[in-house]
Chain A
Amino acid sequence: MRPILRSYLIEVNLGSSTPGAGQNINVQDYPQLRDVYITGIEAFNSDQITKSPAGKSVVPSNTGITLTLMDKYNMEMIFQYPTSDLNPGIVSGFYRDIVPFYLQLTKSYITILDPTGLSANESVILNVFYIQAKEYEKYKSGNLRK
């Protein structure tokens, strides 16, 4: 696992009604994550977190949910990656390293593949590891694969 220089916890709320299969839900804007290179990410379910900082219940399982992350050129750098594989509690404590790319969070989204077990107003919790763009040159050598 690569060094984690900064992290920011975000949540994606499923909305006021239970989402249907195939529905995409965009990630909201987080000003702190506007000008950053993502270096890694992890996801959680209610085994690890009971309530989000905003007070929402956390999804009981990640298995029916995938994540798509876009870069600033609108490229789907990570396309429909199963969020359960981002959960350290499921993958022996590891988190997923990502070769850093310039994240465009507001065009990134989760996809509900199977809503079984999910309820309205629950949140998917993601912890984004990142480097600020202004610090990227300083730290990128430590985050690029040799």
Chain B
Amino acid sequence: MRNTNLETYGNNYSSNKFRRIIIPLFTQENPLAVPGVKYFFPENPTIDQYNIVGMEAHIVRQPTLAEGDIKDGIIDIVTQASARNIYLNLYNDKNEETYFNLPLRSLFTYAPFATGFRITKRIKPITTRLKTRSCFAYIPANIVGSALENQYISLTIYYN
């Protein structure tokens, strides 16, 4: 199957494969997401061996806000409000920090609409070869009152 979504959504590349991954924002010792702590991506050899051509985030809808594109009854995925405090640092296969402080929210876009909000998803053309075990997410150290407990980040990665 050849996914043409990337081109449809404004990107120059199409991808043959795509895979959703989840990144836990907690540890076995502490279920809370602690500001300033790096939460590393689980190592993913499948993704590591391919060229990535796009990436998008998935966000849970909040009752008072209309945006959101995923619902998961098994794990808790971050909401739009939580995503505003989360940054990603992505490393390539040479262990270079190629995407520095990428806001998670920038991987999930929606546009204001007359009757509320409308999701206008764009798949960000992140083009690299990732080293997943070096990549991490974090909440800035100065954010107080972070109440994220047993939450996950959800990303879909498009690759060839």
Residues of A within 8 A of B (CB): 1-9, 32, 42, 44, 46-55, 88-94, 125, 127
B125 to A92, Cβ gap below 8 A? no
Shortest CB distance B10–A (Å): 5
Q: Give the docked Cα–Cα distance between A31 and B120 (Å).
A: 35
Interfacial residues of chain B within 104-131, with CB under 8 A of chain A in the complex: 105-106, 109-112, 120-122, 124-128
Shortest CB distance A83–B (Å): 14
Give chain A residues whose Cβ lies under 8 Å from the Cβ of B103: 9, 44, 48-49, 125, 127
Q: Give the docked Cα–Cα distance between A32 and B140 (Å).
A: 20
Which secondary structure characterizes the binding site on chain A?
loop
B126 to A94, Cβ gap below 8 A? no
Shortest CB distance A105–B (Å): 14
B10 to A9, Cβ gap below 8 A? no
Give chain A residues whose Cβ lies under 8 Å from the Cβ of B11: 1
For residue B74, CB closer than 8 A to chain A, the reply is: no
Q: Give the docked Cα–Cα distance between A8 and B98 (Å).
A: 8
